[in-house]
Amino acid sequence: MQLLRVVLGLTIALIAVHFRHQEIFTNLAAGSYTIVAKDVNGCTGSAIFTLTAPNPCAGIIINVTATTVNPTSAAATNGSISASAAGSTGFTFNINGGAFQATGNFNNLGQGTFTIVAKDLNGCTGSALFTLTAPNPCAGITITVSSVVINNTPCQTANGSITATGGGGTGPYTYSMNGGAFQPSNIFNSLPAANYTITAKDANGCTGSATITVSDLPAGPLFLAVQNVLQANCISCHNGTTSEGGMNWTVDCNIVNFKDRIRERAVNGNPSVMPPTGSLPASEKLKITNWINAGGRFTD
């Protein structure tokens, strides 16, 4: 019992010492601190305490406004943004994440969207987006496309052509056919008969289009004369249903492509006379000979 009184008395004494002694630490910045207490016997105890600073930007709203000047063309870099801020004091400014500067004036800008940030003395920030646009160089511009056409000759490798000329804009022009890549040349060769969309683009990117037709050239009189000879004498054996020797004279290009065979059989009788009903009159043979001697083309 005596021992219990001694221990109890010692505990009360230590509690009394705890409440009688305290230490004050001043001039501390925000952060975490470990405080250690040591008694006369070297016994220690510790605790961690955290000091927090008030947020200097709490309740601060910084608004950024600006006066803008657009560049004078799509390629120009003479636009500008003059920014100002409200809601605090001591502002510096930056553009698109660059270095901060004392003023909100930003010059030598091309077209595009820019982020302006204003920062006050306490590091509080506000931002806004500003867009500079270049004038449309094609406003009021109508690009025209004129052309010279050489029509295609049937039964040959396609040989039609289009020579296009752009106008109404600022040269030089480039040209595109049927949505293909633009090219400096205004000439399109090796064209079969068809409709083509030719687009001209000027130096400012303004475009205009026209639909241009390449036609097949008509059949020539010498060809038509031979065609009539074959229709009168040979079609019964050389048509889409019956094609003796694989020859179908109802197809114009077959007549052109096999003109030498026609001459050998119908004019020279080699290896046998055609048509089988008997040799053609000399006047009919002459039609075949005259056409072949002229070139044997669809247009002859």
pLDDT at 7: 35
Q: DSSP for 92-129? A: EEEETT---BSS-EEEEE-SEEEEEEEE-TTS-EEEEE
Nearest of 161, 196, 157 to residue 180 by alpha carbon: 196
Calculate ∠ Cα 166-170-171, nearest 5°: 65
Average pLDDT, the chain: 90
Give CATH for domain 63-132. Answer: 2.60.40
Mean pLDDT of 228-238: 91
What pLDDT digit, counting tens, does each position of 237-283 carry? 888 888 788 889 999 999 999 999 999 999 999 988 888 888 999 99
What is the reported pLDDT for 31? 84
Average pLDDT, integer, range 51-73: 92
CA distance 76 to 68: 15
Q: Which CATH architecture has domain 144-214?
A: Sandwich (2.60)
- Residue 25 pLDDT exceeds 90: no
pTM confidence score: 0.63
Query: At which residue do the structure tokens 């179908």 appear?
Result: 248
Checking if the pLDDT of 5 tops 70, the result is no
Summarize pLDDT for 92-144 with one digit per residue, the tens.
999 999 999 999 999 999 999 999 999 999 999 999 999 999 999 899 999 99
Q: With a cut of 70, say whether residue 289 has pLDDT above it.
A: yes
The 10s digit of each residue's pLDDT in 134-187 is: 999 899 999 999 999 999 999 999 999 999 999 999 999 999 999 999 999 999
Amino acid making up residue 112: G
Q: What is the pLDDT of residue 91?
A: 98
Domain spans of the chain? Answer: 63-132, 144-214, 221-293
- Residue 72's pLDDT is 93
